[in-house]
């Protein structure tokens, strides 16, 4: 029997240069063997991390019209994956789009891209956090880092923490309504980081080395690889591990290129992601 062919919708911005958001999600998910439809929330000439004078075009007003056309055509998606959303209003629109275009049983995967290193991104405030909680409440999978989890749950942010602290954040996220939680960038000892996955009430941790130099956009690469693997039938834990290994490889191949400061050279590592998904799938 032929494998079912999945089509997902990802909603986030386009940074035309910078290897993040939709310019990452589309190729990574496609490489996983999943059709990737896109709904851009904004168009930027570059991302905002290190570039100056970038242009920004807000597409919020276009989103309901796109939804209306999809509904008239009877278009449905096998999963909804949200990334960076630029405003409180957009979150409300996205909730409506997910409700009207999701096929029966389609999971909603939310990467609450809004904060890092203990601080909210530029332009976000408490009202945005409060509204993001309502999107989390309808999520089948939520993928926050430690900072985002702290803002969403109201639990004080810590730079150093233990398993009990992470468990308290996961419980609070589940209490908000998220069904499964994947906490990214969790490290308990120097030189290592990893992911904590709470899937169907069972929590597991995967650890790998932490390279000294990170890259912009790796959170988007991670979330996209996770979604692609999940839609190929891998469990949340196996998808989380596959995505973590892929991101590590992307950072490794970027280390020797100091002029490539604006993102990760992920393209050359896509074959390894494809092979990893195939290997795990064959071993099920």
For the chain, give the longest Cα–Cα distance: 54
State yes or no: pLDDT of 162 exceeds 50.
Answer: yes
Among the residue ranges 1-5, 28-32, 34-38, 73-77, the one predicted with the least confidence is: 1-5
Mean pLDDT over all residues of the chain? 94
pLDDT at 5: 86
Contact at 8 Å (CB) between 163 and 194?
no
Question: Which of 131, 166, 129 is closest to 151 using CA atoms?
Answer: 129
- What integer is the mean pLDDT of 136-150? 97
Tokens, residue 89? 């209003």
- What integer is the mean pLDDT of 20-39? 97
pLDDT at 284: 58
- What integer is the mean pLDDT of 158-181? 97
Distance from C-alpha of 208 to C-alpha of 222, rounded to nearest angstrom: 14
Among the residue ranges 2-16, 17-31, 145-159, 242-256, the one predicted with the least confidence is: 2-16
- What integer is the mean pLDDT of 36-55? 92
Distance from C-alpha of 112 to C-alpha of 260, rounded to nearest angstrom: 26
Distance from C-alpha of 56 to C-alpha of 106, rounded to nearest angstrom: 32
- What integer is the mean pLDDT of 78-85? 96
Tokens, residue 12? 């986030």
- What integer is the mean pLDDT of 228-257? 96
Q: pLDDT > 90: what percent of the chain? A: 89
Question: Model pTM?
Answer: 0.95
State yes or no: pLDDT of 2 exceeds 70.
Answer: no
Instruction: Supply the CATH classification number for the domain 7-282.
Output: 3.40.1190.20
Residue 156: strand, helix, or coil: coil
Query: What is the domain partition of the chain in residue ranges?
Result: 7-282
Question: Which of 132, 140, 64 is closest to 106 using CA atoms?
Answer: 140
State yes or no: pLDDT of 1 exceeds 50.
Answer: no
Burial of 238 per CB tally in 10 Å (0-12, 13-18, 19+): buried
Tokens, residue 98? 């997910």
- What integer is the mean pLDDT of 221-225? 98
Contact at 8 Å (CB) between 277 and 234?
yes
Tokens, residue 221? 């690469």
Q: pLDDT > 70: what percent of the chain? A: 98
């Amino acid at each position: 029997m032929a494998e079912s062919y999945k089509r997902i919708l990802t909603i986030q911005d386009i940074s035309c240069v910078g290897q993040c958001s939709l310019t990452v999600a589309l190729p990574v998910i496609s490489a996983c063997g999943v059709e990737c439809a896109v709904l851009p929330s904004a168009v930027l000439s570059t991302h905002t991390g290190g570039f100056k004078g970038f242009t920004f075009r807000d597409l919020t007003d276009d989103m309901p019209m796109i939804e209306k056309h999809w509904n008239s055509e009877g278009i449905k998606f096998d999963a909804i994956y949200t990334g960076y959303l630029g405003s409180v209003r957009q979150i409300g629109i996205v909730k409506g789009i997910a409700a009207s275009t999701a096929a029966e049983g389609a999971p909603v995967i939310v990467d609450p891209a809004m904060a890092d290193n203990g601080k909210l991104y530029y332009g976000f405030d408490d009202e945005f956090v409060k509204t993001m909680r309502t999107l989390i409440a309808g999520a089948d999978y939520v993928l926050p880092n430690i900072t985002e989890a702290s803002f969403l749950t109201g639990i004080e942010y810590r730079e150093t923490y233990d398993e009990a602290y992470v468990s308290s954040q996961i419980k609070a996220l589940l209490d908000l309504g998220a069904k499964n939680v994947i906490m990214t960038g969790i490290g308990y000892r120097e030189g290592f980081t990893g992911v904590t996955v709470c899937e169907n009430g069972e929590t597991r941790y995967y650890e790998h080395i932490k390279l000294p130099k990170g890259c912009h956009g790796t959170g988007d690469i991670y979330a996209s690889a996770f979604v692609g693997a999940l839609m190929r039938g891998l469990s949340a834990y196996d998808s989380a591990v596959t995505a973590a290994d892929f991101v590590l490889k992307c950072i490794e191949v970027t280390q020797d290129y100091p002029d490539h400061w604006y993102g990760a050279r992920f393209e050359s590592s896509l074959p390894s992601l494809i092979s990893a998904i195939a290997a795990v799938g064959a071993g099920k």
